[in-house]
Chains A and B, each alone.
Chain A
């Protein structure tokens, strides 16, 4: 908790984006999370990404479940719509919101408890359905809000603050998302905005279901020596396979940019729907971020070696999303008239006749 209100004044040279807004216009209320919580850095990264992309800060649907992580939509994009669902049920609300109004950018923030324990059923199905949204899990390996029980993503053998070991195998949400059809899958770390912000930008502009597992340390209950989700542990083991650089629509390589010395065959650009691009640079030439099976194998192997694979693991820019699959109407439901929404007895009769 912080009691000093964050002043509205800002740095005199704070840049304005294409909408004439500065980064501070994308903030939310001052966080009530513990000081030093990784989740606050994720919120700050979302603020930065949205501001730099010049997305209208009032055109978002923010959805979440229950947990410290699920509280964070209050701390960014104050001007937007939000819904705080019951524990583990954010996917249902996100599905409804996105089907009802496809023009809003949809951001879901959940926790490892919210998505991998109570909400794992809902998680699996929203991935399958490829709802057009950015789904973030602030993964701290613990139930932060209820004071530090092991969550389902906690690694076997890692210990509680008091030293008790976790006896169960972890669920890896990245592997699940890869397996059941997410078209943008990444892992990052709350303490590395240089990596996280471009990933968020790519995910926000990606059409389809974009999933980012952000390791986000819980300073209060899971930042000790026996933890595999602590600042120190992740900093020591994190290995980025594919780094993404966001290239805006009007990006023209400057002299300095073109000189960057990438080994041959290790960079490529991926087009995003609005005309901007993601430049991917691979640390390992043989890694293919468009091959699901390959990505999955890489993640599993690294996990067995005790490494934390981060970066953009898989992307399919051409994959279909829920609207294409279901052939939904282009116009948001709130912009349709009564005649289109309630076409009347005649239309119903025709449908019924088609089923006879």
Chain B
């Protein structure tokens, strides 16, 4: 193998598994260390800069970082990264001194943001410190998009949402609420310098089965129903409720129904439990609230009598693995159909993009799934002035993706307004490495490995929580538990850096490494090397760190897979050929690279 180029920012970035997996590339270990030091305000700001909604995300994030966490590979349960974000938000002090300065003189450019969800809000936050004039339009009476209209208050309390939404609105956004956008042409006629479309994926899917028209009054589309609950138009639901669908919307619908007075609530899913789209923890919460989830039951017919819904007929299928593709296929089991009584159905079987108000003759092209055709780096549409982000860009995702898109779109809008090239002039990623050595055996980070198991987040008393939709279910870690959980982080951003000319090939690092990461061996191609290491390196997703050739003709090969970042290799190296250096990965964002 060729020697690893550790100056390529993506090499060490990948080693920080959580940061690499995070769409916004939040420097996770940075803020976890700040929490361990009880510096909650700074921990909050590290988050705010990168993901914009720490308090909201600390409760609701889809957390792609957690399955990626190295701790999953070293001892099964990831660091509770998401809940630690909430610790920072819950315990922070006054953040005003840390807020970006807002120029009193505007730069003369006007930007229109369509929709007031997380994507548009994050674009506003990035643009305002550079002097842009920002106009925001949304048909809802308040900002936040689906964070407000969809995520129920028992998962995201209103005050947490409002604090972070208002923080941005108060930076000087000209907000136009209760403003239904009906024509993109009209918007373009208003002659803004650039447009950002953040209108989400607002249409819930429906099912056209026998009886659908007749029972219309007893069926609600899940996201519309959650929206009407959120805005106070719906206060109750009665009788037996069936929620159809297996995603997070289904989980929010069933848990909301339970709180609004349903006699019974059942979730019915066409596919198997394991492959349901809902996150594991959402499923767990629903089951914990004793809501039955019935799987492998595709609906066949709505049964009604005189226009009144009586129940639903479901078929019975089983999942079989397709031998050729390995995918799951569903086959009828041969059992008779099942009939389930119900009075109300909440349909939560997916969402789609839907912008009927964007005329199709204005040079803005859509693909066959009704998604706009975009450049994946710049988020620019085929109409040069119009940029997209969030759910409206590539279909429904989540809040953290909305923030990530927003940062890129904001950079593009800025470059566009300066007349620069959206790709050629894009700021590059960067890397800083700083040695953590303080003395012969002193490191400026807590190198010691903490074997503690993941700590469990305390929950509100169930009887209270189920009786009131506004009672938050999860209570979050207090400072003490937060500090202990923070200690589980392995500091993956404190990198093992190898300097060939110093190595005397004494093997001390090989002998001490608790995880058998290091090998000195003759070079070979990657597959060959992976098989010949001290411990076989079977996880091909994790890189091998390969040195230049050493005096004995061998190379140093380090498998990054299960390194604990414990620093023992550097402690035991007589020549400092290994050093523990903190990597700071610079992910370009407006403001940090203000032009």
Contacts and interface: CB of A to CB of B under 8 A. Distances in A.
A306 interface: no
Interface in B470-513: 504-508, 510-512
Interface string A6-38: 111111111000000000100000110011111
A217 interface: yes
A14 B538 CA distance: 12
B75 A9 contact: yes
A335 B73 CA distance: 47
B441 A7 contact: no
A219 B574 contact: yes
A191 B572 contact: no
Contacts of A35: 508, 571-574
Interface residues of chain A: helix, strand, loop or mixed (majority): loop
A44 B511 contact: yes
A2 B568 contact: yes
A41 interface: yes
B74 A13 contact: no
> Which of B73, B508, B538, B552 has the largest number of chain A CB atoms within 10 A?
B508
Contacts of A40: 508, 511-512, 572
Given A11-B516, A12-B74, A35-B508, A6 B568 contact: yes
A251 B573 CA distance: 37
Interface in B68-106: 73-75
Contacts of B516: 10-11, 14
Nearest to A235: B552
Contact of B505 (A30, A37, A191): A191
A231 interface: yes
A231 B73 contact: no
Contacts of B75: 9
A36 B504 contact: yes
B448 interface: yes
Contacts of A298: none
A223 B504 CA distance: 10
B332 interface: no
Q: Which of B74, B564, B572 has the most CB of A within 10 A?
A: B572
Given A1-B441, A9-B74, A219 B448 contact: no
B567 A4 contact: yes
A221 B449 CA distance: 33
A341 to B, nearest CB: 43
B511 A9 contact: no
Which of B73, B504, B506 counts the most chain A CB atoms within 10 A? B506
Contact of A3 (B441, B451, B562, B564): B441
A41 B573 contact: no
B514 A36 contact: no
A41 B511 contact: yes
Contacts of B571: 2-4, 35
B4 interface: no
A57 B211 CA distance: 74
B515 A217 contact: no
Contact of A193 (B448, B507, B512, B568): B507
B183 to A, nearest CB: 58
A74 to B, nearest CB: 15
Nearest to A44: B511
A356 to B, nearest CB: 61
Which of B451, B510, B573, B574 has its CB near the most chain A CB atoms (within 10 A)?
B574
A100 to B, nearest CB: 33
B447 A4 contact: yes
Nearest to B508: A36
A5 interface: yes
A1 to B, nearest CB: 7
A36 B567 contact: no
A4 B565 CA distance: 12
B575 interface: yes
A217 to B, nearest CB: 7
B221 interface: no
A38 B564 contact: no
B74 A4 contact: no
A7 B508 contact: no
Interface in B533-548: 535-536, 538
A25 to B, nearest CB: 13
Contacts of A223: 504
A41 B441 contact: no
A3 B512 CA distance: 13
Contacts of B504: 36, 219, 223, 231-232
Contacts of B448: 4-5
A35 B578 CA distance: 12
Contacts of B562: 11-12
Interface string B566-585: 11100111110000000000
B514 A10 contact: yes
A34 B447 CA distance: 20
Contact of A7 (B73, B505, B514, B573): B514
B573 A36 contact: yes
Contact of A9 (B510, B564, B568): B564
B564 A7 contact: yes
Contacts of B505: 191, 231, 235
A43 B516 CA distance: 16
Contact of A41 (B73, B508, B567): B508
Given A6-B514, A7-B451, A36-B574, A41 B535 contact: no
B454 to A, nearest CB: 15
A11 B507 contact: no
Given A9-B515, A34-B574, A219 B506 contact: yes
Contacts of B73: 12
B506 A11 contact: no
A2 B572 contact: yes
Contacts of B536: 13
A11 B535 contact: yes
A88 B579 CA distance: 39
Contacts of B564: 7, 9
Interface in B150-201: none
B507 A13 contact: no
A301 to B, nearest CB: 26
Nearest to A2: B571
Given A4-B567, A219-B574, A10 B506 contact: no
Contacts of B447: 4
B449 A7 contact: yes
A30 B511 CA distance: 11
Most buried by A among B447, B514, B562, B567: B514
Interface in A185-216: 190-191, 193
A77 to B, nearest CB: 15
B152 to A, nearest CB: 39
A2 B511 CA distance: 13
Contacts of A190: 507
Contacts of A10: 514-516
Nearest to B71: A9
B165 to A, nearest CB: 42
Given A7-B449, A35-B572, A235-B552, A41 B507 contact: yes
A36 B573 CA distance: 6
B531 to A, nearest CB: 12
Nearest to B571: A2
B61 to A, nearest CB: 28
Nearest to B572: A35
A11 B574 contact: no
Nearest to B74: A9
A214 to B, nearest CB: 13
Give the 6 A-B CB pairs with smallest separation, nearest first.
A36-B574, A7-B449, A44-B511, A11-B535, A36-B506, A35-B574
7 contacts: A3-B571, A7-B514, A11-B562, A12-B74, A24-B514, A41-B508, A219-B504
Given A7-B514, A8-B514, 15 more contacts: A2-B441, A2-B572, A3-B441, A5-B449, A9-B564, A10-B514, A11-B515, A14-B535, A24-B514, A35-B572, A36-B575, A41-B508, A219-B504, A231-B504, A235-B505
